[in-house]
Chain A
Amino acid sequence: MLKKLLLTGAVMASMAGTALGQDSYVVGISGALTGPGAGTYAPVIEAVRMYFDKVNKAGGINGHKVDLVALDNQSNPSKAAADTKRLLLQDNALIIVNSSLSSTYEPMINETNRAGAPLLFGGSVCPTQVFPKADPLLFCTTSFGAHYDSNMALAFIKQAAKEDVMIGFSAMAIPVSRGEIDYAEEQAPKMGFKPVAKEIIPPPTANYGPHAVKIKDAGANWVYSWAPWVTQIKTFEALRTQGWGGKMIAFGHINAEDELARVKDDGFYVFGANALFQEGLPIHKEIEETAKAAGATFPVTQLAEGWVVAMALDAALTKTGWPASREKLAAVMNDLEIDTKGLRGGPVKWTADNHFRTDAFYRVYRWDSAKNAIVSESDWVSFPVN
């Protein structure tokens, strides 16, 4: 009799377990929590987690909790593939988020396409497949985008420069960065600039001095760099060490805000798609409060990128309703407007053709020593994406 009771109890418990699992939206994340590039990706994943912990506490989306399963792929392609498979088959994830190096893209894309699940790139560089004409299942919220970034930077230099521009470039010796700088070098003459130096710097370089010297000796008065943050900042600091007095503009990665405050140099500009926390918008305060309550490991200034990813997921799941399926979710995402509450210059809009955004918004910031604070150089500038 006791045995029967126990057995029935066990069966019911297991059924309840699966029932619970089926009662929530399952979102899978495969990202670099450790390993190469983790400094860029781990904060994104933490932000997404914090966001949904808060949402779940408030009752979830459409009355259902969001079950976030995050696996560490250490930017390793085979691990990324295996993890993605597991998230899709075992955890029945509706959507997968990629937040790691581009070497993990192809393996993950194979898995998600095969399962018919949407793949969202959050925090990792947007692959060409999300731009028009977009691949049906690939989406990207990441703030930086090839070619549009350089167009913005060069446009800014044009309106900010007070004399003829002799422009130097700095990139990291990885395909994405090199490609973008090559593009910028091509565009520069069209803006009336004279390209004088282009340094492609291998990642594990101990001393940026030799590279900086070449840029300085070539006579550059403006420098543009589009690369992982370390390359950008070390180029700049090496230039300044050697007494270079020009101005530099670089892409504002997640740690840009802290770095501007650290370097405190009036001639160092960053441009980006996320509003910096010094603006003190309500959304910033919301993020700060959530981070404090959750005991975040990363500085709050690095959480904006991940927050946008979470907002996108939230908007998509909300619109999909319940019950959800991969097809329904993908269809919703093909026509979605994500309200970023001021974190971005405007809403992120996806259409059937464009899974990047219909308009790319940018803002430029720099340190102002007179005010002892970070200031924004202009209002939001937008570029249509087509």
Chain B
Amino acid sequence: MSDLLLSVEQVEVVYHDVVTAVQGVNLTARAGQIVCLLGSNGAGKTTTLRAISGFIGLDHARVTGGRIVFAGEDIANAAPHICARAGIALVAERDKVFEQLSVRENLEIGMVAGKTGSQAAGGDRLDLKGIYRFFPELERLTGRQAGFLSGGERQMLAIGSALLTSPRLLLIDELSLGLAPVVVERLAAALTDIRDALGITILLVEQNANIALSIADYGFVMENGRIVLDGDAGRLLAHGDIQEFYLGQGAAAGERRSYRAVKQYARKRRWYG
């Protein structure tokens, strides 16, 4: 078992000092693992990613409880560029590339913004050629303005430029959103290649449980700000609830249920006002 790279311990995130979006979340990622975070809309997955990457402060939110330990240091509430320099790269759901810059400029931004020795395990510093090996399409498009790329190309560019910051942990929010299945498969395969070649850890937030569990080693399921289930990807795929709620199997037509309806699952919510 490789080292624990990321450990989110009992983390609580509060927006505007009133709304608790994430309460008592525990998740871990080991070096070289692909970990996925599943859950329906509004579960708190994006908030968790933002907390890890340091963007919480920009949304009037704070980590009010617990720790986020990355490579041995607690980075809860640290500024985004501090997290970036520690070795965390985020591919966000929106705003993932600089639309007015060219593809090449987008990639180079990550490279020149000084790194402090956060190399991926077992590799030389990644350069443009390395990226083009994973995403040959980008080489063809170097001069094009990023705003004019297709969804899939944009995602590739986002992942590529994130990789060029030489991260140890790559966070990806909604890899497949709005993309055609064949493109998503292409991206998923690329992620596996990247992990194998560079040894970096990937934390993937996804609504498409199928694709996520197909490439992940481990998975966490989040609902209403809490982790409700976790386990090896294989076991999760076979889990009855997962199959029913996320994989669309097993439920009678018109009777789709979610965790919200499960009686044994007690929820606490703090309401505003």
**In the complex, A touching B (Cβ < 8 A):** no
Interface residues of B, Cβ cutoff 8 Å to A: none
